[in-house]
Amino acid sequence: MAKIFGYRAKDRNGQVLTGSILAESESAVADHIREKGYFITQIKEEGGARFYNAFIDHLRSSSLKEISILCRLFATMINAGLPLIASLDVLIAQTNNRRMKKALQNVYKKVKEGETLSRSLGDYPTIFPNLMVNMVEVGEVGGLLDDVLNRLANHFEKEHKLNEKIKSALTYPTVVSAMASVSVVFILTFVLPTFVQMFDNLKMELPLLTRILLATSNILHKYALFLIAFIVVGTYGIRIAYQRESSRKMIDKLILSIPVVGMLSRKIGIARFSRTLSTLLHGGVPIITALDVVKKTTGNLSIMEALEQAQAGIKEGMALASTLAQSKVFTPMVIQMVSIGEESGALDKMLEKIADFYESDVDDIVGRLSSIIEPVIIGTLGIVIGLIVISIMIPIFDIITNPGDL
């Protein structure tokens, strides 16, 4: 399924025309409108369809591992001298992902009709990343498509490994935290209420800890559905707010300011920036165009803004290192190494070394955090369960030791 785009255009008589089109991308909409002889004035996703489009994007996005395998197989066939059309035909047969297979079938048709490979891939931005489209375009122009595809395969493999390391480190703490929260809520909601009636019948004075726990249990028991709805709506509201530039900027700055999390987020962003920019520059993509692609891969709005400032500075004749230094986002080591790379004419190689260093550093940090978080979560769970048990046992011991006071 495609996205819904609204358009505004003029015909030969100057009459304004508006409407909506279901299409894969803005370029596909533009081609469709131009074929009718209209002059385009505006194309944008319709506001009422944002949730639908976001949902479709999520369904249609392809994994980095799949893209890496695709690039590797594609490069092997091109290097072996197989024609482009025949290579695409093999890729379609080899691909198990139905969404990617459908996209490749459409790419095959467009290339067969005379369209360039990069332009055809660009019509499916949720499946083929911008990095891939730009690199393929360079490979087509320079006649080095196999080399470009091999480098893309290496890039996406390393990006996939970095993401998997982060996910694997967070999986265990997340699962344990979720199970612990469910267990505590279950005890407070369904187990503790059985003791409330007993304590009420005895009309005994309860300790403060027990009263707090029973009050919490009472709130959870009465307002469980309301609390669940509040959490769901709140989570959705945060996601919606994150889509707004002003809110996202504030959230990203907040993340960067958190001592450990901020440092980790910054290093992940720098690693992605360095790896992607190195890949693009090595492929011959101009630095202004490369930065335009790179800023979409960092995952942090503060870093994106720093790269936009770098683009503006380079257009005015400044060096990349100087523009990055002004942003206060990149570390002194990165700025120094970028400066050396620019002076030596080996910026792509220097950026690759930066990426290797920070990816290794992120791996070490994630490993240490994982080893620290696990005992902290288990210890916290033990304390919470212990407090629950103590709060129940104290009045029961009072009943046993002082039966005459009841």
pLDDT per residue as tens digits for the range 115-128: 889 888 888 877 88
pLDDT band at residue 48, thresholds of 50, 70 and 90? Answer: very low
SS3 of residue 20 by DSSP: strand
For 9-40, the pLDDT digits (tens) are 776 666 666 666 656 667 777 777 776 677 77
Beta carbons within 8 Å of 216's beta carbon, 6+ residues apart: 188
Minimum mean pLDDT range among 61-65, 270-274, 343-347, 400-404 = 400-404
The residue among 113, 114, 110, 112 whose CA lies nearest residue 122 is: 110
Q: Please report which confidence band the pLDDT of residue 292 belongs to, taking 50, 70 and 90 as the band edges.
A: confident
Q: What local confidence, expressed as pLDDT, does residue 57 receive?
A: 46
Considering 284-293, 315-324, 376-385, the range whose residues carry the highest mean pLDDT is 315-324
Query: At 1, is the pLDDT very low, low, confident or very high (cuts 50, 70, 90)?
Result: very low
Average pLDDT over residues 73-84: 88
Q: What is the DSSP string of 196-224?
A: HHHHHHHTPPPPHHHHHHHHHHHHHHHSH
Residue whose tokens read 């190195």: 278
d(CA 147, CA 129): 18
Q: What is the per-residue pLDDT for 309?
A: 86
pTM for the complete prediction?
0.62
Place of tokens 């450990």: 260
Question: Torsion over CA of 21, 26, 31 and 34, rounded to 10 degrees?
Answer: 80
Specify the fold of 64-158: Receptor-associated Protein (1.20.81)
User: What's the length of the chain?
Assistant: 406
Average pLDDT, the chain: 79
Please say whether the dihedral angle defined by the alpha carbons of residues 344, 346, 349 and 354, taken in this order, is positive or negative: positive
Distance CA 104, CA 144 (A): 21
Give the 3-state secondary structure of residue 15.
coil
Q: What is the pLDDT of residue 337?
A: 92
Beta carbons of 292 and 311 less than 8 angstroms apart: yes
Q: What is the pLDDT of residues 98-157, one digit of tens each?
A: 888 888 898 899 888 888 898 888 888 778 887 788 888 878 876 778 888 888 888 888
Q: What is the mean pLDDT of residues 275-281?
A: 85
Q: What ranges do the domains of the chain cover?
A: 3-59, 64-158
pLDDT of residue 387: 82
Q: Are 326 and 309 in contact (CB under 8 A)?
A: yes
Q: Are 272 and 299 a contacting pair, CB within 8 Å?
A: yes
Query: Do 147 and 139 meet the contact criterion of CB atoms below 8 Å apart?
Result: yes
Q: What is the pLDDT of residue 22?
A: 58
